[in-house]
Every structure is written in structure tokens, then in C-alpha cells.
Structure 1
Amino acid sequence: MKVAIIGGTGFVGTNIARHLIDAGHRPRLLVRPGSEQKVARPEHCDIVLGDVADPAALDRCLEGSDAVIYLIGILREFPSRGITFDALQRVGVEDTIAAAKRQGVDRFVLMSANGVHVEGTPYQRSKALAEAALKASGLRWTIFRPSVIFGDPDGRMEFCSQLKKDIIDSPMPAPLFYSGLIPKNAGGFELAPVHIDDVAAAFVLALTESRTESQTYSLCGPQRLSWKAILTTIAAASGKTKLMSPAPAMAIKATAGLLDRYPWFPISRDQIKMLMEGNVCFENDSFARLGLTPTPFGVDQLGYLNR
């Protein structure tokens, strides 16, 4: 099967492309000029140079494809540089849907995110609107909503390696965020980290299993872990112990309000808000429905942090 991938050179896209190749499929990647070196196993891929904002490039990428996977997502937007959630996470999806219809590609798999809703942050809203557009498209669709994704990043940005760089390796105490004025249950909000190989396996399975059509799957790992427990595990995997200290979310948000326009500042106001909401699956049966067993989060799975 020839599978067009929009967003195939990042952490998730690279791993999905590898899994597709291993399963006997041929990825067809839309790649921005100058990013060709980011393609994993290029000898097994078709590379189409272009940008997601260019309809002609989308047509070239989807031409002759049997299915399309849309993976583009950003954690922060920088409007002054033309990088926005709406452009990349909603408009890009809508434009790819239009290209799929022009090219006769009726199978569309979308990576959304766990917990998105239209009344949420701009990140969550753009993802939710993209889901709605795909559901209304008339195409054969599947939507995956992963929690935070971990796994060997191979030089790309990834959840645990980013936390190691920004928090564990920092000389400052690790922040245990809490709401309000009193540090009650600081760092107690929960996440459900999911391994990249499990996410990639779900995408590959969806392409050949008709039972996944018109289905939305929330992909969470098998554990609900507190922020504090996650930081402790990352520190242990890095061969370190880490001092941790309660940090009022209000104060961090105020600081971010002044500085999150700059790429060097490590976190935005909305990222703090979404982090404090937690990121777990309340109906955690998606992997069982898919017939897959998710990988637990622990020191043994984080050996890549020492490389």
C-alpha cells in the first residue's frame, strides 16, 4: 500500500514511516525543501518536496496513494513567524481533505490529541475542529488521540528527553505545579505516557482493518502517573536524583505571559494549563479494542536518556 504522510519527518512521523516500511507499505512523504536529511530510510520512501500550505504540493503527494496520514502538530505557536495552531492543525487538515478528494484517496487517518475540545486552548480547539472536519468529509476516517508520547527520539523532540533537558539537567529544583495559593497535592496531576511504538502500531493496523473506520481511539499507556512520579522516573533513568519544590501555577503563568512569545522560554501559559488538566484516558480500552498491549512507562524503557 502506498501511504501519503503529511508530517513524516518529526518524532512521530519518522516512527510511523518506519513501521509502515516494516509492514511492507511504501510511505510517500511531503517534505519541506531543506529537510530531506530528516527522512528515515529514504531508499524505501517516495519524497515529495513542498509545503502543506501549497495545494499543488498536497496533490503531488497524494497522487496515486491508497491512504493519507496527517500528523502535523506543534506544541507552541509563534504568530509573528506565521506558525499557528489554526494554520497547521486545522487548515492543513482541511486542505489535505480537499486534496484527498481531488486525488480519489478515500482513506484518511488523523493524529489528534487526548483531551481536545472546542472550548479549550487554541491548541485543543484547532485539533477538535480538525476532527470535526474529517468526520464531516465523507472519507473513511480514523482518529487517534494519544496522551504524551515517549520513546527513543533519535535526535528529535520527545516528551522525556525534553523534560530531562529543561528540568532534570537544570540546576534549579524541579517544579511541582499546583493550583491556588496553598501547595496541596503539588505535582499530583496525572498523565498516561504512551510509547511511540504502540502509537505507530495503531496507525499501521488502522490502514488494513476496516473495523477501525469511523472510530476515535484515545491512546494512553497502562499507567496513570503523577507529574512528580514521572519526573522521578526520568531522573532515575538519567542516573540522577532531583530536588523538587512546589511551584504555584499562577506565578509560572504570569511569567510565561511575559516571556512565552520567545522560543527560548521553555513553556507557554497554555501548556501549563493543559498540563495541570492532566492527560489520562477515562475509557482506557482503545488498545484492547485494537488488539494491542501498551508498553509500561519505567526506567527500563528510558535507556535512551543516557545517550
Structure 2
Amino acid sequence: MTDAGRGTVALTGASGFIGAAIARHLISRGWRLRLLVRPGSQARLPSLPATRVITGSLADPMVLKQLLAGAQALVHCAGAVRGLTRADFDRVNVSGVQALLDAADDALRVVHISSLAARHPRLSHYAASKRAGEQLVQTCLPPARRVILRPPAVYGPGDRELRPLLDRIMQGLALIPAPRDARFSLLHVNDLATAVACLLSGSAAWGCTHEPDDGQPGGYAWQDLLAAIARLRQGSVRALTVPGPALSALGACNELLARLTGRAPMLTRGKARELRWPDWVATGNASLLAIGWRPVIHLDQGLRDTLP
């Protein structure tokens, strides 16, 4: 089957880094889009044809009915990545998922964008909330109507989470927040968007949880990333490892500051445990062979796309 004229996809999180890339790619494949955005986030939306924007919250059942009415599929990208308490994350990553499932009709297919962090829910409130969101999707939908993607660290043009770290390394200094022997997978955002489009084009590989990556066997060591950026900047990179206790102490300070200011922190003690975990290597792409997807953007090219 071809994508042209396939119908309407509802998309949450389109004002974010991953959601915007998925939106652009689905439009290029001939899908019409219906986007849910929070009030005040409209300015961050990509400018796309064949798109209807619905402003509102995952907590509003009437808004969700508008979002999903007549749609053939939902791609759920919205997620809370900053917070202090488990409730801060659950509000979007669990309750928001439940609200979408409650609003869905019996034919809607759901691509649920989770996170590799969901493999280890004990590490952080974020990881626990992502695992709980996955479990809701698995419990409430039959296999033919659900697929879960657990991407590893996603990067590319427009990234705001990894970019500060990459910029620092590009300047010649790497503050490594993990053990030197840690390994991790990477995935360029455009390859992730292509995987979503391939899944929506048919029924193969549905009913599963996939952990796609850029095809690097065994993932990367930190030295691999530093060497790639050194090639790009045509100069050496100095590496300093941040001690685990120092990272945890900084997370604790951020939590205290958050309680005083009411601003949600990114680095908490839970996030520090995630960063210190030694194995964030995805299981790879064998489970996605049936949809004909292959990653095409590997590290050197991806960094050229991402960094000035």
C-alpha cells in the first residue's frame, strides 16, 4: 500500500523536538495531521500543510474527542521529562495516556513513543512513569492496534536536551556524567520519524515493543562519541568524568531549589541514576525488519546535521 491519501493521524507533542520531526515526515508521506498542543506552544509548531491544530490539554476529554474523531491512528509523543515528584511525571506520562485511551474508538491504532528508560523503572520517577504508560497501552489495546517504540538518546537538528552536552564537547571539553566504560545507543530523529511512518503504512511489527537505534552494533562508548566530535571540530577533546556522588549531590541541590522556586528541574537524583547507569544499549532493529525500515543516518553525518 502507498501512503498517499491514507487519512488522518492524530499527533501529540508536535511542538517538541521528536514530535515536530514526525509531523514533518508524515506530511511528506501524504498523511493529514491533527495536532494537539498546549496553550502557548503554538508558536513552536512546524509550519505544515494539511494540518489542523487543536489547542488544549490531555486532561480535557472534549479536546481529546476532537483530536481523535475520525483519525485512523494516534502517534503519542507528548511526555513530561522534567519534574520533582512521581506525580509530576504521572500527570502526563500515565494519566495522559489513560485519557487518550479512554477517548479512543475501537478502531484507532496507537503508536506510543516511550523511552529506553522504561526498561529500568526503579531508577527514577521518569522511568517508572514511562513504564506505567507502556503497561496501560498494552493492557487497554489489543496487539493489532498498538506498537511501542523505546528510542535511546535521540539527537538531530532542533534538539534541546542533548545539544548543551554536545555543544560543550564541540568546544573541546567533555564533562562525562557516566562511568567511562558505559555504553549507549543513539538514534537520529529523522530515522525515528521514518520508523513511525513505516509502521503506520501497514500492520507488520505491531503488537510489540521495539528499541530502534542507528545500527551501531553494541552501541557506543563515550570515547566513540568524543572521537566523532573531534573529527568534526578537527581538534582534540579533553574529557573529565563527573564523579557519581557529585552528580547526585547536584541533583539533590536542584530538588531543593525546585521546592523553593516551584520550577521543575531536569537534573534530579533520579536523573543522576539514569545517567550513571552503565548499559543504555538498545536491543536493535531486527524486530522492525518486517516493515522495511533501516536507519540511514549514522553518527558522523548526524553530528554534522546537529552541530554548527
TM-score, structure 1 as length reference: 0.85
* CA shift digits 1:188-212 (9 cap, x unpaired): 2011101111111111111121122
Task: For 1:268 and 1:170, locate their aligned partners in 2 and report how far apart those are by CA, in whole Å.
Answer: 26
The yes-or-no answer on 1:51 pairing with 2:57 is yes
Q: Which residue of structure 2 lines up, in the alignment, with residue 300 of structure 1?
A: 301
Q: Which residue of structure 1 lines up, in the alignment, with residue 67 of structure 2?
A: 61
Q: Which residue of structure 2 lines up, in the alignment, with residue 175 of structure 1?
A: 175
Paired letter, 2:270: D
Q: Which residue of structure 1 lines up, in the alignment, with residue 32 of structure 2?
A: 26
The yes-or-no answer on 1:122 pairing with 2:125 is yes
* CA shift digits 1:231-269 (9 cap, x unpaired): 443354345533212321122212221124556976332
Task: For 1:289 and 1:40, locate their aligned partners in 2 and report how far apart those are by CA, in whole Å.
Answer: 31
Task: For 2:274 and 2:188, locate their aligned partners in 1 and report how far apart those are by CA, in whole Å.
Answer: 20
Paired letter, 2:157: D
In the alignment, which of 68, 80, 91 is matched to residue 87 of structure 1? Answer: 91
Q: Which residue of structure 1 lines up, in the alignment, with residue 243 of structure 2?
A: 248
Distance 1:14 1:99, change over 3 A: same
TM-score, structure 2 as length reference: 0.84
Matches within 5 A, 1:131-150: 131-139=134-142, 140-150=145-155
Contact 1:11 1:158 in 2 (8 A): no
Distance 1:238 1:30, change over 3 A: farther
Q: Which residue of structure 2 lines up, in the alignment, with residue 198 of structure 1?
A: 191
* CA shift digits 1:152-197 (9 cap, x unpaired): 11xx5252x23124x33678x523345xxxxxxx422011101111
Count matched residues. 291
Task: For 1:86 and 1:92, locate their aligned partners in 2 and report how far apart those are by CA, in whole Å.
Answer: 8
What SS class does the counterpart of residue 18 from structure 1 fall into? helix
Moved more, 104-113 or 59-68: 104-113
Q: Which residue of structure 2 lines up, in the alignment, with residue 97 of structure 1?
A: 101
Q: Which residue of structure 2 lines up, in the alignment, with residue 3 of structure 1?
A: 9
Task: For 2:252 and 2:171, locate their aligned partners in 1 and report how far apart those are by CA, in whole Å.
Answer: 22
Task: For 2:290 and 2:197, locate their aligned partners in 1 and report how far apart those are by CA, in whole Å.
Answer: 15
Task: For 2:25 and 2:37, locate their aligned partners in 1 and report how far apart those are by CA, in whole Å.
Answer: 18
Paired letter, 1:242: V
Contact 2:11 2:75 in 1 (8 A): yes
Q: Which residue of structure 1 lines up, in the alignment, with residue 269 of structure 2?
A: 269
Q: Which residue of structure 1 lines up, in the alignment, with residue 180 of structure 2?
A: 187
Q: Which residue of structure 2 lines up, in the alignment, with residue 36 of structure 1?
A: 42
Distance 1:3 1:88, change over 3 A: same
Distance 1:73 1:264, change over 3 A: closer
* CA shift digits 1:7-50 (9 cap, x unpaired): 11111101111111111101100112222222213332111111
Task: For 2:269 and 2:25, locate their aligned partners in 1 and report how far apart those are by CA, in whole Å.
Answer: 35
Task: For 2:265 and 2:170, locate their aligned partners in 1 and report how far apart those are by CA, in whole Å.
Answer: 16
Task: For 2:192 and 2:171, locate their aligned partners in 1 and report how far apart those are by CA, in whole Å.
Answer: 30
Paired letter, 1:114: L
Q: Which residue of structure 2 lines up, in the alignment, with residue 291 of structure 1?
A: 292
Q: Which residue of structure 2 lines up, in the alignment, with residue 183 of structure 1?
A: none
Instruction: Percent identity, please.
Output: 26
Task: For 1:120 and 1:267, locate their aligned partners in 2 and report how far apart those are by CA, in whole Å.
Answer: 13
The yes-or-no answer on 1:152 pairing with 2:157 is yes
Q: Which residue of structure 1 lines up, in the alignment, with residue 3 of structure 2?
A: none
Task: For 1:53 and 1:231, locate their aligned partners in 2 and report how far apart those are by CA, in whole Å.
Answer: 42
Structure 2 unpaired stretches of 5+: 1-6
Distance 1:208 1:295, change over 3 A: closer
What SS class does the counterpart of residue 219 from structure 1 fall into? coil
Task: For 2:306 and 2:31, locate their aligned partners in 1 and report how far apart those are by CA, in whole Å.
Answer: 31
Paired letter, 2:155: F
Task: For 1:220 and 1:71, locate their aligned partners in 2 and report how far apart those are by CA, in whole Å.
Answer: 17
Task: For 2:147 and 2:307, locate their aligned partners in 1 and report how far apart those are by CA, in whole Å.
Answer: 36
* CA shift digits 1:211-238 (9 cap, x unpaired): 2221111112222111233244335434
Task: For 2:303 and 2:160, locate their aligned partners in 1 and report how far apart those are by CA, in whole Å.
Answer: 14
Distance 1:163 1:32, change over 3 A: same
The yes-or-no answer on 1:230 pairing with 2:230 is no
Contact 2:83 2:266 in 1 (8 A): no
Structure 1 unpaired stretches of 5+: 179-185
Paired letter, 2:147: T
Task: For 1:98 and 1:130, locate their aligned partners in 2 and report how far apart those are by CA, in whole Å.
Answer: 13
Distance 1:228 1:3, change over 3 A: same
